[in-house]
Structure 1
Amino acid sequence: MLFLAISGSLRSASTNSVVVRSLAALTPGGAQTTVYEGLNDLPHFNPDLDGPQVAEAVLAFRAALQQCSAVLISSPEYAHGVPGVLKNALDWVVSSGELAGKPVALFNTSPRATHAQASLIEILTTMGAEVLPAASPTLPIAGRGLTETAIGSDAALAEPLRAALALVYQRTQATAAATS
């Protein structure tokens, strides 16, 4: 079972990027989390380019989504919205449908970042993804400068992440059993 983790920020030191990288160590046995690092490689979405001539980066993103059992997204909020780079990535898979029926957990690193979270839920639901509210925790860690190790060793942070990942794991198992 493979989970694909995506940070909505291009900054490597972003709290969201740190959370995404920390998920790999917290993933339950029987599953593996891979961090998708290619958001910056995706061209600006243009429906005219979504065909036989689509960019390799788009094909790679679609393949990564097809191969995973669930998607884990941690995204900042920019001006009360979803960062353009994340929205751009999602736009590239609207017509191809890789997120349809796919369980998705959203990780929010700031209690104040409610607008982007709500927008992501709306966008992903419209795309047919199965957003898992119970597996979408808000962690008050924005601006604290934490590392992956610090998140993993702080029970107040690691436990909600482990619980969310356990719920994602259970949901993907149930989905796999239902389609077998």
Structure 2
Amino acid sequence: MSSLTLFALCGSLRQQSINKACLLALQQLCSGYIDIVIDEDIGLLPLFNPDNEQHENKALARMKQQLAAADGLIIASPEYAHGISGVLKNALDWLVSGPEFVDKPVMLINTSARAHHAQAALREVVTTMSGAIIDEACVTVALLSKNPTADDILQMTSVTDTLLLGLAAFSRAIRTDQEITAEHAN
């Protein structure tokens, strides 16, 4: 059985982003059996303008290529003013018209139990874009007031257990979908 490759988007540009730290911790937790590629270009995307979709943008091209090559997508994003961060919404707007997102399994990570408005909005956007949210893989971990680094998160057993349970459910769902697809192809 081949290793899974997952693409991860962080909806925060902050240098000390809790969401980025959570993705980095998850990347380390599953190193060796799941490859998580964390996007580094989200802040380089221009503001979405459909008139510019045909113009070459290297950051967008890399993002689309990495998403297309991935078996699934992980999104971790903060909540700003009861909504999705502008940088994440901008990235999703750029991805909405391409085939890379359609039917892509999606895992959502919420780093604050209070951030339920953004998670609801994110679910709406991802569903509208034809992403396949895997409900049992979506997790909430209480990190908001702690401001941890990835190394700090790796020492938080309750957080790492929750992340790994979500990732296990995500992996199972992706593998099951791949098996069903392979059976129908034969």
Please indicate the TM-score interval, normalised by the length of the shorter structure: over 0.9
Q: Which one of the candidate residues 42, 49, 52 is aligned to 1:49?
A: 52
Structure 1 unaligned segments of length 5 or more: list them. none
Alpha carbons 2:136, 2:170 under 8 Å: kept:
no
Kindly state the Cα deviation for residue 28 of structure 1 after the two structures are TM-superposed: 7.0
Instruction: Give the equivalent residue in structure 2 for 1:26.
Output: 29
- What is the aligned-residue identity percentage? 36
Instruction: Give the equivalent residue in structure 2 for 1:6.
Output: 9
Kindly state the Cα deviation for residue 15 of structure 1 after the two structures are TM-superposed: 0.8
- Structure 1 moving runs of 4+ over 4 Å: none
List per-residue Cα deviations over 1:99-149 (Å, max 9, x = no partner): 111111111111111111000000000111111121111111112021212
Alpha carbons 2:75, 2:107 under 8 Å: kept:
yes
| TM-score when normalising by structure 1 | 0.95
Instruction: Give the equivalent residue in structure 1 for 2:151.
Output: 149
Alpha carbons 1:4, 1:64 under 8 Å: kept:
yes
Instruction: Give the equivalent residue in structure 2 for 1:35.
Output: 38
Kindly state the Cα deviation for residue 27 of structure 1 after the two structures are TM-superposed: 2.2
Alpha carbons 2:109, 2:138 under 8 Å: kept:
yes
SS of 1:92's equivalent in the other structure is helix
List per-residue Cα deviations over 1:86-111 (Å, max 9, x = no partner): 00000011111311111111111111
Distance in structure 2 (CA, Å) of the matches to 1:48 and 1:161: 39
The CA RMSD over aligned residues, in Å, is: 1.2
Alpha carbons 1:108, 1:138 under 8 Å: kept:
yes
For these two proteins, the number of residue pairs brought into alignment is: 179
Distance in structure 2 (CA, Å) of the matches to 1:82 and 1:54: 26
Asked whether 1:113 is paired with 2:115, we answer yes
Structure 2 unaligned segments of length 5 or more: list them. none
Distance in structure 1 (CA, Å) of the matches to 2:15 and 2:9: 12
